[in-house]
Amino acid sequence: MSKVLTCEKLTKVYGKEKTALDGIDLELDFGRIVGLLGPNGSGKTTLLKLANGLLQPTEGRIRIAGMAPGPETKELVSYLPDADWLPDWMRVEELVEMFRDFYGTPSQAKAYIGFDAAKANEMLARLNIAPNARLKTLSKGNKEKVQLVLAMSRHARLYLLDEPIAGVDPAARDFILRTILTNYNEEGTVLISTHLIADIEKVLDEVILLKDGALMLHESVDRIREERGKSVDALFREVFKC
């Protein structure tokens, strides 16, 4: 089976001067939870947008399950951007229906794609988010929870989450991490971009460290702890210390 994500000499340059990604070589297997780590401006969001087909490489290539990002990969990828993007005049229940209509329901033939409305409604109820509430009436944290619930209720092969816990209070972070752990398709892979490493380290199988658009490290969390004798958070602080 193909890797869920493959990058070969992947390069993205904005304009004439800003190199966001510089020759990235990377392979991710199915069934992993991977932290995409690095300071602001390291290229994390650019990589996620390239994987989702929102940007095109300047050089090199990127593949999702062996395919170039495009119409064929849209049903395989669930993307959560780092900005509000849903129509804020819609009610929460209308958003759930919109996702179900757009993505369809999982079938036996393609159980790994589609949208599970029942799962979304269950998670929203546990978060005490009223289905008839309009998005614009919710707090910033609750808006982000709604967006996360919709993304994680997709049956996908690759989940791209850009800073999914940055805008919520610490008390809600554990719930959100449990939501990610218990609701993604276990045959898929979750790629989480974040700078809140201490909060998310406990759920990760692997980490990717980016610095100035270059790949500094791609390693399993267990190997980092065993061979380096330190946590991922400690390693990050060492690599990126001022």
CA dist., res. 209 & res. 26, Å (int): 11
CA dist., res. 139 & res. 154, Å (int): 24
Phi, psi of 14 (to 5 degrees): -100, 125
- From first to last of its 242 residues, the chain has per-residue pLDDT tens of 579 999 999 999 998 778 999 999 999 999 999 999 988 889 999 999 999 999 999 999 999 999 999 988 988 999 999 878 888 899 999 999 999 998 887 764 465 678 999 989 998 998 899 999 999 999 888 888 899 899 989 888 999 999 887 767 777 777 777 777 776 667 789 999 987 788 888 889 999 999 999 999 999 999 999 988 889 988 888 887 76
Amino acid at 105: T
Rounded to two decimals, what is the model's pTM?
Answer: 0.91
| CB contact at 8 A, 140 and 172 | no
**How many CB atoms within 10 Å of residue 142?**
21
CA dist., res. 111 & res. 30, Å (int): 15
Contacts of 64 (CB under 8 A, 6+ apart): 4, 5, 51, 73, 76, 77, 157, 158
First-to-last C-alpha distance (Å) of the chain = 42
Amino acid at 86: L
Maximum Cα–Cα distance across the chain: 52
Alpha-carbon torsion 235, 236, 238, 239, what sign?
positive
> Which pLDDT belongs to residue 184?
66
CA dist., res. 202 & res. 191, Å (int): 14
